Amino acid sequence: MGNNKLSVRRNIISNIILFLLNSVIGIWMPPFLIARLGVGAYGLIPLATSLIGYVSIITVAINGSLSRFLSIDVNSKDYEQANRTFNTASTSLGLMFLVLLPIVVMFSLQVSRFISVPSELGYGVNILFLCAGASFTLSSFSSIFNTSGYIANRLDLVNRVSVISTYVRVALVLIIFLLINVSLEGYGISLLVASITSSCYSYYIFKKYTPFIKIDIKLFDIKILKSLMSMGWWLMIIQLGSILFLQIDLIVINKLLGADSAGKYSVLLQWSNMIRMLSLMLSGALGPLILNLYAKKHTDQMIKLTKLSNKLLTLFITCIVLTLCIFSKYLLNLWVGPEFSNMSYLFILMLLPLPLNLGVLPLFLLNRAYNRVRLPGIVTCCMGVANFLIALFFVKYTNLGMYGVAAASGIVLTLKNFIFMPIYTAKTIGIKYTSFYGASISSFLLVMLGAIIGFAYWTYFDAFTWVSLIFNGAIIFSIFVGVSYLLLIKDERKILFDTIINRKQK
């Protein structure tokens, strides 16, 4: 148990450091790029990442299931089977990319036919999409090497891949924009070089933690591929639904409201994405441990860990979201300028659904461990289509505009994650249907307190400088964290405290 706690603590610390780095970059980068490119051109950068990322629908079928099957092989010390599993996955993924590559190239060269592109940007948009496509392809393929670090429970090393990529990308953007030329193609080149560099480190992790695995396409096994795809197919459906939930917003706004509106929406979306990334990192820190506990049939310990992480994550995200909502007007004014301060209510609408929707992420780990992803895949895909249709309706037939897109996403995603996921996961592992709703009740109580504090703050205080914003924000956040601790029961506090100080439970 002590080693498990040490691994969890190390992984969480590593994830938090990575999140802080990405947060600093995420907060600094948009104003920097908007000031030099303009809001319309800037909006094409996250849109390029989203559109090119659609090919992940296919690649997740292999990448998403590999960690489970390879973890079982390695834990059982069946290294011959591990070699067959890995080479089946890598060969299949390589063939997929050979098929996808010409599609990505053709789309990038004709991108103006599919989205609204300001005419003055010229061929720079095509190069941006080409580089984003090449970068995503390389990163997706090299991520298969990160599986070795994942099953070794060394997410801190896997996170270094992202750190290296971020540092290289930012350094090149600064060099190109400040010393050479401000352009979208310059940003695209930065993405590609960063991906090449980080992929080299991914290969180093692979060789270090699975030296017994040799790359050999002759070890491809169609039976193993069928096993991978039996789970991977439904992970692919889940990914499709997730894209319709999380990445369709910018496309709808770009096509129906224009590039400038999409650019403004993408600026606000940056905070939602950062919180989502933090949630994925924190829940992901438990992924290797949950897979190992499942492989070793330590079911009770696995369920206990998942329930606690569900509640802790929900409360923590609630603390962040409430703090941002209370200071939204002042934050937007200081961060990207007064022209964005009137979008504070849209900002709040985008953030409020996050605690319930992100707090359930640990439950996805259980479903993957049990290989119960079929029904979640179908539900996610159907609800994703519903999100797309409702967003279209709100934009085309009402005056809600961007508010309609945000509302559609929040409503549909909450229906899936608040009603379906907790009940389905509880049924999967054979516990009470209401077992995972304690986190939601605690979050509701915290939100009510946040509404009272927010009303009082807006009435008597303000924050027109970064110093006052950070100082007051830290006080409010600390209050929410303190209340969250009081909402934990005695056993939960003990486990949390023991994990933080790495003390063994008796």
Residue 378 lies in a domain: no
The answer to whether residues 91 and 220 touch, using CB atoms and an 8 Å cutoff, is yes
Contact 293, 301 (CB under 8 A): yes
pLDDT (mean) for 217-230: 83
Specify if 267 maps to a domain: yes
pLDDT tens digits for range 424-468: 888 888 788 877 887 778 888 888 888 888 887 777 777 788 898
Query: 232 with 266, same domain?
Result: no
Instruction: Say yes or no: 132 and 91 in one domain.
Output: yes
Domain hosting 308: range is: 16-35+252-367+433-506
Q: By C-alpha distance, which of 93, 96, 110 is closest to 51?
A: 110
* Inside any domain, residue 238: yes
User: Could you tell me if 457 and 320 lie in one domain?
Assistant: yes
Which residue shows structure tokens 């409360």? Answer: 315
pLDDT of the residue at 138: 85
Confidence of residue 506 (pLDDT cuts 50, 70, 90): very low
Residue 156 within any structural domain of the chain:
yes
What pLDDT shows up at residue 505? Answer: 45
**Do 354 and 210 have their domain in common?**
no
Residue 272 contacts residue 350 (beta carbons within 8 Å)? yes
With a cut of 80, say whether residue 419 has pLDDT above it. yes
Three-state DSSP state, 221? coil
Q: Both 77 and 176 in a single domain?
A: yes
- Could you tell me the two tokens for 309? 């992480």
User: Do the domain assignments include residue 193?
Assistant: yes
Q: Where are the alpha helices (DSSP H) in 352-465?
A: 354-358, 361-369, 374-397, 402-414, 421-429, 438-460
What would the pLDDT profile of 31-49 be if each residue is shown by its tens digit? 899 888 888 888 888 888 7
Q: Are residues 227 and 310 in the same domain?
A: no
Which of 195, 224, 246 lies at the terminal end of a domain, its last residue?
246
- Does residue 335 fall inside a structural domain? yes
User: Per the domain annotation, does 264 fall within a domain?
Assistant: yes
What Rg, from alpha-carbon coordinates, does the chain have?
Answer: 23
Residue where a domain terminates, one of 212, 246, 280? 246
Closest CA to 48 of 124, 125, 101: 125
319 and 464 part of one domain: yes
Judgement on whether residues 491 and 360 belong to the same structural domain of the protein: yes
Q: What is the pLDDT of residues 9-22, one digit of tens each?
A: 676 677 777 778 87
Over the stretch 177-188, which tens digit does the pLDDT of each residue have?
Answer: 999 888 889 999
Question: Is 347 inside a domain boundary?
Answer: yes
pTM score: 0.74
Which range scores top for mean pLDDT: 51-55, 64-68, 298-302, 356-360? 356-360
Report the range out of 235-249, 399-413, 476-490 with the highest average pLDDT: 399-413
Of 312, 306, 315, the C-alpha closest to 428 is: 306
Domain boundary among 224, 246, 268: 246
| Exposed/middle/buried for residue 188 (C-beta within 10 Å: 0-12, 13-18, 19+) | buried
331 lies in the same domain as 468: yes
Instruction: Report the alpha-carbon distance of residue 124 to residue 275 in Å, rounded.
Output: 30
Q: Are residues 31 and 46 in the same domain?
A: no
Task: Give whole-number Cα distances, 413 to 312, 384, 409, in Å.
Answer: 20, 8, 6
- Give the residue with greater pLDDT, 429 vs 220: 220
CB atoms under 10 Å from CB of 247, counted, come to: 19
- Whole-number average pLDDT of the chain: 82
**Is residue 99 predicted with pLDDT exceeding 70?**
yes
Answer yes or no: do 50 and 159 share one domain: yes
Identify the sign of the CA torsion 293, 294, 297, 302.
positive
The total of structural domains in the chain comes to: 2
CB 357 within 8 A of CB 414: yes
* Other beta carbons within 10 Å of 389: 13
Tell whether 219 and 263 lie within a shared domain: no
